[in-house]
């Protein structure tokens, strides 16, 4: 394990990101780790990098030279993305990911895939329009009425809900069958899932509710 912390970690990737998203993450998780090329964005905006992890095919020589050698962690294998490399080498109660959504769709889909593959990690991806995370076994989200709650299965999964306009019990979710996007909260939402396969998406203004909900929720066992 490269980074171990009792507090949450902000993880910065090389995709589309804004200063507002970085500040929102760092207000909750001031310790910052960069995934390869994400180091440039983090350093440009004054983040003190605890570590840079990746295959280093995106980080520039200038940025690399500005990072202390002890903080550079080169992982040369090409069978995983830099995001996956980071998830496998960070131990923290929560990871807030910035720069893993938007821009290229293939990168965003890979990041969503990684959330499922590292289901034991509590990880939230911040984007301009969405906060994305893997639903834990059970979850309470203190959301206001009419808040968007989108559910997208990454595999076969079932669940039960309270507080959704369209309840999900009795539905057999799968990416090529039933999905649950564009649902809405009636107030606080309660979810229970049968497997670590369901992504949840809400608007960015509900980040604090997501962090509170995940922090109180049970985690999936590490496979």
Q: Is residue 44 located within the same domain as residue 94?
A: yes
13 occurs within a structural domain: yes
CATH number, position 67: 3.40.50.10240
- Are 165 and 108 in contact by the 8 Å Cβ rule? The answer is no
209 occurs within a structural domain: no
The DSSP call for residue 37 is T
Q: 148: which strand partners?
A: 184
> What is the pLDDT at residue 104?
84
Domain boundary among 85, 100, 128: 128
Q: Is residue 160 located within the same domain as residue 78?
A: no
Give 47's contacts (C-beta < 8 A, 6+ positions apart): 10, 12, 22, 26, 32, 34
Half-sphere exposure of 133 (CA within 13 A, CB side): 32
> What is the pLDDT at residue 103?
72
Q: Is residue 148 located within the same domain as residue 82?
A: no
Pure H helices in the chain: 19-28, 38-44, 61-66, 82-87, 105-117, 207-216
Q: What range defines the domain where residue 61 resides?
A: 3-128
Q: Is residue 13 located within the same domain as residue 118?
A: yes
* Number of folded domains that form the chain: 2
Q: Is residue 168 located within the same domain as residue 80?
A: no
Q: Give me the tens of pLDDT residue by residue for the chain, a chain 223 residues long.
A: 899 999 999 999 999 899 999 999 999 999 999 999 999 999 999 999 999 999 999 999 999 999 999 999 999 988 899 999 999 999 999 999 999 997 788 989 999 999 999 999 999 999 999 999 999 999 999 999 999 999 999 999 999 999 999 999 999 999 999 999 999 999 999 999 999 999 999 999 999 999 999 999 999 998 6
- Are 94 and 30 in contact by the 8 Å Cβ rule? The answer is no
What is the rounded CA–CA span in Å between residue 38 and residue 32? 11
Q: Is residue 124 located within the same domain as residue 146?
A: no
CATH number, position 194: 2.60.120.320
């Amino acid at each position: 394990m490269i980074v171990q912390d009792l507090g949450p970690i902000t993880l910065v990737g090389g995709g589309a990101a804004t200063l507002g998203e970085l500040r929102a993450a760092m207000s909750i998780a001031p310790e910052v780790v960069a995934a390869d090329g994400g180091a440039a964005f983090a350093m440009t905006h004054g983040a003190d990098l605890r570590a840079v992890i990746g295959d280093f095919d995106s980080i520039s020589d200038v940025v690399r030279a500005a990072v202390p050698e002890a903080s550079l962690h080169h992982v040369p294998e090409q069978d995983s993305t830099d995001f996956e490399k980071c998830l496998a080498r960070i131990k923290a109660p929560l990871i807030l990911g910035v720069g893993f959504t938007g821009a290229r769709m293939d990168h965003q889909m890979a990041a969503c895939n990684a959330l499922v593959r590292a289901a034991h990690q509590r990880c939230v991806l911040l984007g301009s329009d969405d906060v994305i995370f893997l639903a834990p076994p059970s979850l309470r989200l203190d959301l206001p009425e009419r808040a968007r709650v989108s559910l997208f299965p990454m595999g076969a999964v079932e669940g039960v809900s309270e507080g959704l306009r369209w309840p999900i019990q009795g539905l057999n979710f799968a990416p090529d069958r039933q999905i649950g996007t564009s649902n809405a909260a009636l107030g606080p939402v309660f979810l229970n899932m049968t497997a670590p396969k369901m992504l949840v998406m809400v608007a960015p203004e509900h980040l604090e509710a997501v962090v509170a909900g995940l922090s109180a929720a049970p985690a999936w066992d590490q496979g």
